[in-house]
Amino acid sequence: MTSLADLDSPGLAQQFAAWGYKPSHAARVLRSFYDGREIVSPPSRGLPQGLVEKLQTTFPSSAATLDARQVAADGTTKLLLRLADGRTVESVLMPDFRADRAAGCISSQVGCAMGCDFCATTKTGFERNLTAGEIVEQFLALRREASAGGRKLQTVVFMGMGEPMLNLDAVLIAVRRLADNALGALGWRQITVSTVGIVPGIEALTATGLNVHLAVSLHAPDDATRARLLPMGKRFPIADILAAADRFQARRGRPVTIQYCLLAGVNDSLEHARLLAELLGSRRMHINLLRYNPTGLSLRGVTYEPSSDEAAEAFAAVLRARKLVAHFRRSRGPDIDAACGQLRRRTGGVSEAACGGAL
3-state SS class at 159: coil
**Of 350, 342, 352, the residue nearest 128 (C-alpha):** 350
3-state SS class at 311: helix
Q: Which of 119, 172, 266, 290 binds ligand SF4 (CB under 6 A)?
A: 119
Q: What is the rounded CA–CA span in Å between residue 23 and residue 315? A: 58
The residue range among 23-31, 107-115, 290-298, 306-314 that interacts with ligand SF4, by the rule CB under 6 A, is: 107-115
Site for ligand SF4 in 271-290 (CB under 6 A): none
Burial class (CB in 10 A: 0-12, 13-18, 19+), 262: buried
Site for ligand SF4 in 150-169 (CB under 6 A): 161-163
Q: How far is the CB of 250 from ligand SF4 (least distance, A)?
A: 25
Q: How far is the CB of 41 from ligand SF4 (least distance, A)?
A: 43
Q: Using alpha carbons only, give the angle 85, 117, 255 rounded to the nearest 5 degrees.
A: 90
Strand boundaries in 99-144, DSSP class E: 101-105, 109-111, 126-129
Q: DSSP assignment of 201-239, as one string?
A: HHHHHHHHT---EEEEE---SSHHHHHHH-THHHHS-HH
Q: Tell me, what DSSP letter sits at residue 165? A: G
Is 90 assigned a catalytic role? yes
Assess contact for 90 and 348: CB atoms under 8 A: no
Q: Which is nearer to ligand SF4, 191 or 216 (CB)?
A: 216
Residue 267's φ and ψ, nearest 5 degrees, are -140, 20
HSE-CB at 143 with a 13 A cutoff on CA atoms is 19
Q: Which is nearer to ligand SF4, 261 or 318 (CB)?
A: 261
Question: One of 127, 340, 352, 355 is an active-site residue; which one?
Answer: 340
Q: Which is nearer to ligand SF4, 30 or 358 (CB)?
A: 358
Is 105 assigned a catalytic role? no
Q: Which of 59, 132, 356, 359 binds ligand SF4 (CB under 6 A)?
A: 356
Q: What is the rounded CA–CA span in Å between residue 135 and residue 133? A: 5
Q: Does 112 bind ligand SF4 (CB under 6 A)?
A: yes
Q: Which is nearer to ligand SF4, 51 or 343 (CB)?
A: 343
Q: Which is nearer to ligand SF4, 112 or 215 (CB)?
A: 112
Q: How far is the CB of 90 from ligand SF4 (least distance, A)?
A: 11
Amino acid at 74: D
Q: How far is the CB of 44 from ligand SF4 (least distance, A)?
A: 43
Q: Does 229 bind ligand SF4 (CB under 6 A)?
A: no
The residue range among 75-83, 91-99, 112-120, 273-281 that interacts with ligand SF4, by the rule CB under 6 A, is: 112-120
Q: What is the rounded CA–CA span in Å between residue 42 and residue 52? A: 9
Per-position x/- string for 177-196, each x denoting binding to ligand SF4 as judged by CB under 6 A, each - no binding: -------------------x
Question: One of 90, 127, 163, 352 is an active-site residue; which one?
Answer: 90
Site for ligand SF4 in 209-228 (CB under 6 A): none
Q: How far is the CB of 344 from ligand SF4 (least distance, A)?
A: 12
**Which residues lie near ligand SF4 (CB under 6 A)?**
112, 114-116, 119, 121-122, 161-163, 196, 355-356
Catalytic residues: 90, 340
